Amino acid sequence: MGYERAGRAGGHRLAPVVVAALALALVTGCGGTARPVAPGGDGKAPATDPAQKPPVAADAAFRDHDLVISAGCTVPGSRPAKVWVEGYDPGSWKKTVSVEFTLPAQAVVSTAGGQLSALQDLCAGNFPVPGGDDGAASDRAFGPRVRELFDHDFSRLAVVTTDDKTGASHVGYVDRAGKFTDLTGTASGFSSTPHEQDALFAPDGGSVWFTYRDPGGQFHIASRALTSDHRLVDQWSGPTDGADDLDLQLGGSPLRAVVGGTVRFGPDGRRAAGFIDGAGDNVVAVPSSGVLKTNGDAGAITDQDCDPSGWVDDHTLLCAPRGLSPAQPPYQNNLWTLDVDRMHPGDYEHAKDAASPPLLPATDRKNLPEVVSPDGKKLLFRSVQGKDENAFVTDLTPGAQPQQITAPEAATALGSGDCVLEWR
């Protein structure tokens, strides 16, 4: 069975041709409609207007338990682009904390110049649209990459900036006060133009990891520490087997950095699910940094209805229906889990042997998974009915009755406004 990547236009979907994250977030589409980009479409935030500087919430604390965290972005035409992060109590669904970041004028926020940063997924409006052509349950906004734009405490936000004069792209971060730190810096003398991109924070917040190609075309994964001189430290380099549009993802302990299609590390960091060109969706061991690769067909996800949307535990994937073809009954419009240790390699006829029964009651609604609770017992998801979107919580037990989130602020943010990043 041959596989290939779907194109980037209209969203980054990864699907087979023939059959068309707990602490790790299952980030869904961030708003039903795209927000406006600054005039000119150059993919950068508008020039900073000091009068519009957001209030600084330097003492805002994101507690490490009982908190659902979401983020959103706005790119007005006459003011600086801003990103906000909010925390909601999953018992009362009241907002308990909120912070805001003002982006530098050179920050890449739209896809006009190509895919350079996960921040584009948050800001550029490239998300599922209710009533769209295929009702897909996933696109580039899914996955933990948007969460990794931030450090643990949401005090810093990783960004990629570009220079129109030199064509350079730099990595850095902005803090809650709006101060931008360029980690790449400006080299002197006869130096090559930096093309650093895909900036993500390491889990400890002490460094920003990214990718780049050297003047000879070699692909690299590297990092720059926030302290000292921010010097470049190469973490891996090598061929990418002809794929030029791979996304960086961090996970595991010790920390590993891999590139692949929609990669999601398991909770223990030893395995990851992701799309591999020529092999489709797979679950593979991650022994070291580099390009995500298969081990033959041992980890191939043979359930062709399943679009892997995160992990419930170290052995169980959460599945949503693929966008290119409807799931077969009784899984259509539903969500289910997949025991990756019970998959039959190469046996497509018995692929559902590893699948749970549907998690939701039978429905004609489109249901988009957002995040699993830290104990793996509950799921927050977005449900789309025509042009109406609502947030629900359900037990991860087949047939459980979902409960709608009705608290006004949480209902808007989690149901149709923001990307859900994490459930602590």
Per-residue pLDDT tens over the stretch 96-120? 999 999 999 999 998 777 889 999 9
pLDDT < 50 positions in the chain: 1-25, 27-29, 31-43, 45-58, 126-142
Residue type, 115: Q
234 CB neighbour count, 10 Å cutoff: 11
The two three-digit tokens of residue 289, written as one number: 């940094």
The two three-digit tokens of residue 234, written as one number: 């190469």
The two three-digit tokens of residue 422, written as one number: 């994490």
The whole-model pTM stands at: 0.83
**Closest C-alpha to 266, from 300, 320, 310, 236:** 310
Counting every residue written for the chain, the total comes to: 424
The two three-digit tokens of residue 112, written as one number: 């006009």
The two three-digit tokens of residue 120, written as one number: 């584009």
Contacts of 142 (CB under 8 A, 6+ apart): 26, 27, 28, 29, 262, 309
The pLDDT of residue 309: 92
The answer to whether 423 and 374 are in contact (CB under 8 A) is yes
193 CB neighbour count, 10 Å cutoff: 11
* Burial of residue 160 (number of CB atoms within 10 Å: 0-12, 13-18, 19+): buried
CA 350/CA 12 separation, integer angstroms: 29
Contacts of 351 (CB under 8 A, 6+ apart): 302, 303, 304, 343, 344
Angle made by CA atoms 166, 170, 174, in degrees to the nearest 5 = 130
CA 45/CA 120 separation, integer angstroms: 11
Q: Is 93 left (phi over 0), alpha (psi -120 to 50) or beta?
A: left
In this structure, the dihedral spanned by the alpha carbons of residues 119, 138, 28 and 247, taken in order and rounded to 10 degrees, is -30
For 328, which DSSP code?
P
What domains does the chain contain, in order, with CATH numbers?
21-423 (2.130.10)
The pLDDT of residue 244: 64
DSSP 200-265: EE-TTSSEEEEEEE-TT--EEEEEEESSTT--EEEEEEE--TT---PEEEEETTTTEEEEEEEEEE
The pLDDT of residue 189: 82
The pLDDT of residue 143: 60
